[in-house]
Amino acid sequence: MFMALIPLFDENMAVKAYSIFTQKDNFFLDPMMLGTRQNDGATTVEGLELIEKMGMETLSEDKEIFVPMSSISVFSDVEEQCSAPHQRIVFLIDNTIPPVDMYVNRLAELKKKGYRLAVQKLSVQDFENYREILKLADYVFLNNRKIAIDKAKVYFGKLYPKIKLCAGGIESMEIFEALKQAGGYQFYEGSFYRVPVTRGEHEVAPLKSNYIELLNMVNSSDFELTAAADVIGRDTALTISLLKMVNRMTVNSGITTIRHAAAMLGQKELKKWINTAVVNELYSDKPSEITRLSLLRAKFAEYLAPVFEMNAKADELFLMGLFSVLDVIMEKPMEEALQMVRVAGDVSEVLIKGTGKLAPVFDLMKQYETANWQEVSRQLLLEKKDAAPVNEAYVKALSWYKKLF
């Protein structure tokens, strides 16, 4: 089974919820599995099974999670499938669920149990027919390209004053800023947060320059432990983080110096820790989801190494994922951003040109995280790879991230 988490932002670019999208099988091996999976049976809602298996904290921390339902699975025993608090589950339905009594009554039952409800993919012409369902809804996703927010605010404010409006499919920061300026939306969803905004020539902040110096050092061919330890010592946050981590790993070690801690980790592990910790600090003035995306990509790509028979490239795959949004962070073209941290070779080629030995993993990673299951299925078929280990790699990456923080 494939699964991916899609963030929902507020106007301050803070993540307030996640949507979980799943697919049971490879689309090209079983085309009926695509989309709403109308033949998935009435016994399960796949998103709920994953929540129960992995836990709300791993998937969405303390945030709501939107779970799609089909016209069949809406009748399943949801309480039996998932013991998570009802108020944190938002069932997401669309226009494949008709606004007839049978469905309206079922949705009303779920609402009485404390679950929340969101509706998507309705056209303006559908609003009148779906009025009984909209009366139950807590959220409605609107196509911002087809529905004017000023008219939507008046319409929903008058007829459904408690419903919260959500904008989906936002592809750029310019669109996000325009929608935010217009007001009216509670949540914003789309790829806009990871699209780079190049601001031309500008100075890098002094603190970021220190981090870049450290990244340059650890990614160079003559990387030395003691020199890296001395640079870490200039930053209080990194120093405390390193000492805490190494002390957790050892028993009665009495580690008190940065050089000792660096020696205890060893060059390979110190390099990976520095890249991870420094990126976390480097991204601190950006939306937290950017940090999460960078780290998840890094570990997901590393875990995909054996799937693609690239075990020897695992460290490079980790770095590829970690720096895949460096252009967003540095607000510079990717080639220039990578030159600042001295990343070259296969990692540089795939991040700048999208080609090279690492490209199959890079392409799959990007399609997977957006729940583009048709393209994921196509790529796996071409590469002759099974779906199960790919999903396992993603799940392991989520668990790793949860433990990291």
How big is the chain by its Cα radius of gyration, in Å?
Answer: 23
Same domain, 183 and 204: no
Same domain, 336 and 259: no
Per-residue pLDDT, 38: 45
Same domain, 214 and 342: no
pLDDT above 80 for 35: no
pLDDT above 70 for 2: yes
Average pLDDT over the chain reads 85
SS (H, E, C) the chain: CEEEEEEEECCCCCEEEEEEEEECCCCCCCHHHCCCCCCCCCCCCHHHHHHHHHCHHHHHCCCEEEEECCCCHHHCCHHHHCCCCHHHEEEEECCCCCCCHHHHHHHHHHHHCCCEEEECCCCHHHCCCCHHHHHHCCEEEEECCCCCHHHHHHHHHHHCCCCEEEEEEECCHHHHHHHHHHCCEEEEEECHHHCCCCCCCCCCCHHHHHHHHHHHHHCCCCCCHHHHHHHHCCCHHHHHHHHHHHHHHCCCCCCCCHHHHHHHHCHHHHHHHHHHHHHHHHCCCCCHHHHHHHHHHHHHHHHCCCCCCCHHHHHHHHHHHHCCCHHHHHCCCHHHHHHHCCCCHHHHHHHHHCCCCCHHHHHHHHHHHCCCHHHHHHHHHHHCCCHHHHHHHHHHHHHHHHHHC
Confidence bin at 40 (pLDDT 50/70/90): very low
**pLDDT tens for residues 298-343?**
999 999 999 999 999 998 999 899 889 888 887 889 998 888 777 7
pLDDT above 60 for 47: yes
In CATH, what number is assigned to the domain containing residue 100?
A: 3.20.20.450
Q: What does the pLDDT average to over 4-14?
A: 93
Same domain, 151 and 237: no
Same domain, 123 and 67: yes
**pLDDT tens for residues 160-180?**
999 999 999 999 999 999 999
Per-residue pLDDT, 238: 75
Same domain, 66 and 187: yes
Same domain, 259 and 392: no
Q: What does the pLDDT average to over 225-249?
A: 75
Which of 256, 282, 308 corresponds to the end of one domain? 282
Same domain, 186 and 72: yes
Most confident of 71-80, 205-214, 286-295: 71-80
pLDDT above 60 for 15: yes
Per-residue pLDDT, 174: 92
**pLDDT tens for residues 264-278?**
878 888 888 888 877
Residue 267, token pair as written in the block: 């060059």
Which of 136, 166, 194 corresponds to the end of one domain? 194
pLDDT above 90 for 64: yes
Most confident of 27-41, 54-68, 190-204, 210-224: 54-68
Same domain, 274 and 331: no
Parent domain of 319:
289-405
Which of 145, 178, 194 corresponds to the end of one domain? 194
Among residues of the chain, what percentage have pLDDT more than 90? 56
pLDDT above 50 for 362: yes
Lowest mean pLDDT among 50-54, 289-293, 301-305: 289-293
Whose CA is closest to 245, among 215, 213, 279, 269? Answer: 269
Q: What is the pTM of this model?
A: 0.81
pLDDT above 80 for 286: no
Confidence bin at 98 (pLDDT 50/70/90): very high
Are the beta carbons of 68 and 47 closer than 8 angstroms?
yes
Per-residue pLDDT, 26: 57
Same domain, 156 and 187: yes
Q: Count the domains in the chain.
A: 3
Q: What does the pLDDT average to over 78-89?
A: 94
Same domain, 70 and 162: yes
Per-residue pLDDT, 255: 62
pLDDT above 60 for 30: no
pLDDT above 60 for 16: yes
Same domain, 155 and 172: yes
